[in-house]
């Protein structure tokens, strides 16, 4: 604690932070939000909305703002200093106010979330729960926010990098989750570490997540249990006090930058990463591969801007995703053809019924087409296996199971991430 700064803070007006604000402030103070050292001023805010960059050109896709109510905003002015307190009244930081403004929140919704649909939790928070006035300025830390639970596994970037160094780890795969882990998650992350000769950081969010999510106390107990399923010296658990926005593609890019700041060399990006589900018309807010597309576009910049200039010798960020289009497309096409061949040989389905599943095109739209067909063909295969089992056709059933096993084992983890994530979320 900075006693001198704490004493100084007694001279200023104070603002009690809400849950999201205190998560954001902690991530600014601990370096998780590097290069940010502030709540955004107006110029940076407008730049992030329009270009996903700060005014100085640094890549940053999500606006981090201190919102206050109108009554309080009339009591402060640019040039003032404001003490930021937690809900227990402890002083956490002082903000040197640069800007106070009334933002266009609907514009922010469209820029960050791509919608103003209130069924989106990020939009609902912004339009119906947040305060209407933004305050921007640099922050000076008084003390870290207090946590009374799981202190031994709450690491800031500096302490986590130190732990990696002590363990002798250099290649580290980060796996973010806001849900309990299941067998498929364990299998996927094990394959990731094996393929990349890396270690695993299970990095669950224990700040704000999606409304209705399992509480973090229950989830942490699950994570600790699942950790025993990994080989010794293969995985560690660390909690991150992040307030998610459920902003889909922009948030995936944000998560990658944050994990880079925490010292990770790899980051698993899943299907519809940080997506909030369906809109008011029953359609997904974001495409299943939108997160991979934006990361495929920006990953060289993350490596350049966040490794070389800020993290020195840490390894380049490699994004494990379904965006290896050629590999994923070839793999899916082969799997689909193998299922079609099996169905033609062993099932009641004729060739004309299967013609709709064939494709010879290429490109991202074809990946989606092949993926959808893969799910449909697997469903047909499962249905035929059930029929054959009822007729005691053991040899045919065994051959179907062999086909499914071979498809599972030959998939690289880069493809598994995208193709399995639908069943994981």
Active-site positions read: 177-179
User: What is the signed CA dihedral for 240, 246, 248, 254, rounded to 10 degrees?
Assistant: -30
CA distance 28 to 244: 14
Residue with tokens 């912004």: 126
User: What is the signed CA dihedral for 129, 131, 136, 142, rounded to 10 degrees?
Assistant: -80
Show the tokens assigned to 237.
């658990």
Give the single-character DSSP code of 285: S
Q: Detail the DSSP E strand segments found in 90-230.
A: 91-101, 133-141, 172-175, 199-202
Show the tokens assigned to 118.
């209130």
Show the tokens assigned to 292.
């991979």
CA distance 91 to 35: 23
Which residues, 6 or more positions from 221, have their beta carbon under 8 angstroms from its beta carbon?
none
Other CB atoms within 10 Å distance of the CB of residue 167? 12
Omega before residue 35 within 30° of 0, cis: yes
Instruction: Judge whether 153 and 239 are in contact, CB under 8 Å.
Output: yes
Give the single-character DSSP code of 7: H
CA distance 42 to 65: 10
Other CB atoms within 10 Å distance of the CB of residue 311? 19
CA distance 33 to 54: 13
């Amino acid at each position: 604690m900075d006693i001198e700064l704490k004493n100084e803070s007694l001279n200023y007006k104070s603002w009690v932070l809400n849950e999201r604000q205190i998560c954001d402030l902690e991530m600014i103070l601990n370096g998780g939000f590097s290069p940010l050292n502030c709540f955004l001023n107006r110029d940076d805010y407008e730049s992030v909305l329009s270009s996903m960059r700060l005014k100085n050109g640094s890549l940053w896709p999500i606006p981090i703002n201190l919102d206050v109510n109108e009554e309080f905003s009339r009591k402060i002015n640019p040039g003032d200093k404001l003490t930021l307190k937690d809900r227990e009244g402890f002083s956490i930081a002082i903000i040197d106010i640069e800007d106070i403004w009334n933002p266009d929140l609907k514009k922010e919704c469209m820029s960050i979330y791509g919608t103003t649909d209130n069924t989106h939790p990020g939009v609902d928070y912004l339009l119906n729960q947040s305060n209407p006035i933004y305050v921007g300025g640099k922050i000076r830390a008084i003390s870290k926010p207090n946590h009374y639970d799981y202190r031994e596994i709450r690491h800031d970037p500096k302490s986590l990098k130190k732990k990696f160094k002590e363990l002798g780890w250099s290649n580290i795969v980060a796996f973010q989750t806001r849900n309990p882990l299941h067998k498929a998650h364990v299998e996927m992350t094990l394959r990731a570490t094996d393929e990349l000769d890396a270690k695993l950081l299970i990095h669950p969010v224990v700040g704000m997540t999606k409304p209705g999510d399992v509480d973090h106390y229950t989830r942490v107990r699950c994570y600790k249990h699942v950790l025993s399923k990994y080989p010794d010296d293969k995985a560690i658990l660390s909690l991150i006090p992040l307030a998610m926005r459920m902003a889909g593609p922009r948030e995936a890019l944000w998560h990658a930058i944050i994990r880079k700041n925490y010292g990770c060399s790899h980051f698993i990006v899943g299907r519809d990463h940080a997506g909030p589900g369906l809109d008011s018309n029953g359609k997904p807010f974001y495409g299943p591969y939108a997160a991979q597309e934006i990361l495929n576009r920006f990953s060289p910049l993350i490596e350049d801007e966040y490794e070389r200039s800020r993290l020195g010798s840490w390894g380049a960020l490699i994004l494990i995703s379904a965006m290896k289009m050629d590999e994923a497309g070839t793999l899916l096409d082969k799997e689909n053809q193998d299922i079609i061949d099996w169905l033609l040989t062993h099932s009641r389905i004729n060739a004309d019924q299967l013609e709709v599943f064939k494709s010879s095109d290429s490109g991202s739209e074809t990946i989606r087409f092949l993926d959808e067909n893969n799910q449909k063909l697997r469903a047909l295969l499962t249905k035929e296996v059930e029929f054959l089992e009822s007729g005691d056709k053991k040899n045919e059933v065994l051959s179907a199971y062999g086909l499914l096993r071979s498809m599972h084992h030959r998939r690289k983890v880069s493809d598994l991430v995208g193709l399995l994530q639908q069943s994981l979320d």
